[in-house]
Structure 1
């Protein structure tokens, strides 16, 4: 490779291939900045002074330096990252051992805070990698790699701590909170399934085709699913991520670890409340879906709706905080579960630390899941559950716990 010095004005043909390769590299997002001085040059001591040996790209980090400064107001930081500086610092501390890299002779490692910030900002805004790259002064490919690395660390380090199925003691507390809310006993979770838009995958494309969303938007849509169970405070206790968008809610449930947990007897004597897209089973409690409901059944459905609202609102806050969930992502299909799981974990951390989410962001969430649910072919799968639901409906009405809008 021809060495180029600051005073070299040689314009022979030997320099043209180098310039062409540089332009091509910039277009493809390659990071040629192997080792830079403060001026963005690769320096070498000796001779008559510093000499530039490689083409490099001098990237500004002014935007990130502003938000990384102690003088940055917390409100301004929260608007960019959907969390306050203390919550962000806590996440960085917990992930530090997993995401930190050592400096090498060729370059200084990207600091932990900047690594985590790239990931969270990308999830919070859904901005393109090119825009994220400009704001953080890093290469496009570097930003993409950082997002995946930090999301993987969140899954490995933070998910076991912040997204757990409740133990027996916690179940009792959750049950009491849901009963206070609705009057329905032994409810330990509110369940909902949402769809995340994706570009058409290269393989098995028909499985990811979302007919309901396609009919609604009048354009071809593809998606993957997130099935989530939340406690009475809207914190996720279980998620099942990544099944194709053509799969109805009851089939996603059947394939989930939650269903396996129930088959193993771990949900005996408790209920998880779901919408009409789920079947009525020994552990899944759903509204009455037949036409011409009685007053008792309608009043029961009103109380079930109060429980379901908890999970629907949680998903609205999830999508409001992490705008990447509302946009068709260019991420590879195999990377999506880890990224979507990281969003759920970060949601829980924000909820547990009382991080507010801007109402405008929540109101902007447009969810196809508010449409009429597709009732399973076999909606009633437990005679026990059918009788138990009738008993609960009767008790709610006659013990003044039921709603009064229909009465």
Structure 2
């Protein structure tokens, strides 16, 4: 009995041990499975992190590569422009020496002519004192040199300069009324007036200014200007450059300068009343001026877009301008080659340097889609599938941009030399174009209305910049402006 009972106890104990071993094995197997699952998740996270790091590295390298290429292009363009400037400086120095030699030769001829004249007078006097009329007659029979001047008619200019000439006709010829013309003559008098000489009478200041204005207004060839004013072709060319230089030196500091603080406040208010966008101090645009193919660095001035549109090889230089709400220029940058896109022209301008120095902190200059978005340059949204808010913002930006486009259209319409390939040398063009901008301001401020027949249409292609976004804070500021415009009911009405 006891043995049987002990045997049963031993059997139960072994069975319990077996069950306990089975339970322990089950628990250990489950722990290993959970541990393997956690390890797999960690490996996947580590792999995702490595892939993300690799993508970030590739993105950074691409950005660095783009910036390096941009700097290389910029440096190449600056080096090229420096070479061009050096070349033209040498050419200008050579021309200056040639002109100096020509003046010396002309002076020698003039002195010889005067000397011959004095000798003739002295000879006649001595003949009168020493003998009768027959002797004087014999003394005058010899050949004497004289200075020859071609007789040209200036009847047209004399008629225009008459006090009875109608002011409307005068404005049609010279793009401004008589009073504005007289004001310009008075201010330029000290810079361009010449004195009479023993050989000839100096050209009056009024005629000098009129030659320049008529040439800029019509863009007609110098031979036509010569016939109109009764002057030589070379004289007309010289007068145009002299008067344009005087305009840049004397009138530009008075009529084309960045506004003072009080004027800027008024400009902000006027632009805000136009668009609802606050702190706008200017509207910016870049246009192209056609030129004759230069002798060097032709590719730099080649205008691909104009060539494709007109099916005719075109070369140009650029004029970048900022205008106030009245269309008056407050800043210009003139003379960079026509192959440069608008954003690169902006980077080369003095305005860009002044902005980096803090001049435009807290204010906006509005540009088109060819400019990058920066801390001080506000441009429209250019991506596809715009939201309602972005469409409304672009509508208001377009109203400000139209101010600059209309100003350039009036500039080119008023001074039609800007629509033609001029005969002026490339190194002299910035002076001529600067004079046109100053004269435009004088006419705009003087309320000189343009004939509708003079209005022209701009043909400038806006190319997207390589780096359209230069500042993340400016992107957030633009979004805030767009939201406020729509939220306060200041934009989006054209979509209703």
Task: Tell me which interval the TM-score lies in, with the shorter structure as reference length.
Answer: 0.7 to 0.9
Structure 2 counterpart of 1:128: 221
Aligned to 1:184: 277
Identify the match of residue 374 of structure 1 among 463, 485, 488.
463
Distance 2:149 2:479 in 1: 72
Structure 1 or 2, whichever has the larger Rg, is: 2
Instruction: Give the corresponding residue for 1:206.
Output: 299
Q: Distance in 2 between matches of 1:159 and 1:87?
A: 16
Are the aligned partners of 1:95 and 1:157 in contact in 2 as well (CA < 8 Å)?
Answer: yes
For 2:361, the equivalent position in structure 1 comes to 268
Shift of 1:53: 2.6
1:39-50 equivalences in 2 (<5 Å): none
Q: Is the 8 A contact 2:388 2:492 kept in 1?
A: no
Partner of 2:321: 228
Residues 116, 150 of structure 1: 8 Å contact kept: yes
Aligned pair partner of 1:91 in 184, 190, 203: 184
What do you get for the CA RMSD once the two structures are aligned? Answer: 1.9
Aligned to 1:164: 257
TM alignment of 1:107-122, pairs within 5 A = 107-122=200-215
Q: What is the correspondence of 1:314-393 to structure 2 with a 5 Å cutoff?
A: 314-362=407-455, 365-369=456-460, 371=461, 373-393=462-482
Kept after mapping to 2: 8 A contact 1:212/1:368: no
**1:56 shift after superposition:** 2.9
Alpha-carbon deviation of 1:57? 1.2
Shift of 1:52: 8.1
**Does the aligned pair in 1 maintain the 2:389–2:492 contact within 8 Å?**
no
Structure 2 contact 395–492 (Cα < 8 Å) conserved = yes
TM-score, reference length from structure 2: 0.71
Measured after TM superposition, the shift of residue 366 of structure 1 is 3.7
Q: Which has the higher helix share?
A: 2
Shift of 1:406: 1.7
The residue correspondences of 1:136-151 to structure 2 (distance < 5 A) are 136-151=229-244
Q: Indicate whether 1:287 and 2:387 are aligned.
A: no
* Cα shift at 1:136: 0.6
Q: Structure 1: where are the runs of 5+ without partners? A: 1-31, 36-41
Find 1:174's aligned residue among 244, 249, 267. 267
Aligned-partner SS, 1:212: helix
Deviation track 1:286-326 (CA, whole Å, cap 9, x = no partner) reads 00011111111011001000000000000000001000000
Structure number with greater CO (CA < 8 Å, separation at least 6) is: 1
CA displacement 1:202-256 (0-9 Å, x = unmatched): 0111000000100110110000000000001000000000000000000000000
Mapped partners of 2:406, 2:478: distance in 1? 24
> Once the two structures are superposed, what CA deviation does each residue of 1:171-199 show, in whole Å capped at 9, x if it has no partner?
11100000000000000000000000000
Deviations 1:118-173 (A, max 9, x none): 00110000011000011111110000000000000000000000001011111111
Give the TM-score taking structure 1 as reference length.
0.87
Distance across 1 between alignment mates of 2:145 and 2:403: 60
* Secondary structure in structure 2 of the residue aligned to 1:405: helix
**2: CA distance, partners of 1:104 / 1:267:** 52
Residue in 2 that maps onto 1:402: 491
2:492 and 2:324 mapped to 1: Cα distance? 22
